[in-house]
């Protein structure tokens, strides 16, 4: 089965998704939320043994309605221009966010954890805003 837009308020509700046009909302619906459901963590926390030890350089803020590939291209170009292809990780907001905290939006502390995106911002020395 193909992925389709599951947001009832979207203009493309129930329309099959095209790889090149998948947005962060749609990636969150189809990948991030299902993958992180059991652990109630961010995607970065899920795929990294210890996210606090990952050398972060840049926190990437983006519009959730933007195609994922557009953001990836911007990050690649930013890295190329700065010559940082291997030195630093880029933490992307949608992947550093914990979708099951605070209604799945910005996040709120759970027990002794701070929101994943706050941890990512704290560990980063710079922010890349993709518009």
131 residues of the chain, pLDDT tens digit each? 689 999 999 899 999 999 999 999 999 999 999 999 999 888 988 888 776 666 668 889 999 999 999 999 999 999 889 887 666 788 888 998 888 875 444 334 444 456 666 777 777 888 999 98
CA gap 111, 79 in Å, rounded: 35
Q: Write out the two tokens for 54.
A: 């990952």
CA gap 51, 11 in Å, rounded: 36
CA gap 44, 106 in Å, rounded: 15
- On whether the pTM is more than 0.85, the answer is no
Q: Write out the two tokens for 36.
A: 């992180």
Q: In angstroms, what CA-CA distances link 117 with 4, 45, 70, 80, 101?
A: 27, 11, 20, 24, 11
Residue 102 DSSP class: G
CA gap 100, 70 in Å, rounded: 25
């Amino acid at each position: 089965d193909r992925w389709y837009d599951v947001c009832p308020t979207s203009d493309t509700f129930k329309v099959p998704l095209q790889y090149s046009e998948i947005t962060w909302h749609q990636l969150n619906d189809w990948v991030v939320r299902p993958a992180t459901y059991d652990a109630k963590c961010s995607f970065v926390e899920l795929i990294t043994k210890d996210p606090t030890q990952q050398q972060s350089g840049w926190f990437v803020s983006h519009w959730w309605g933007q195609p994922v590939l557009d953001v990836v291209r911007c990050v690649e170009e930013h890295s190329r221009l700065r010559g940082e292809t291997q030195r630093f990780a880029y933490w992307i907001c949608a992947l550093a966010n914990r979708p099951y905290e605070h209604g799945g939006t910005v996040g709120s502390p759970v027990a002794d954890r701070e929101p994943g995106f706050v941890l990512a911002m704290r560990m980063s020395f710079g922010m890349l805003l993709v518009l």
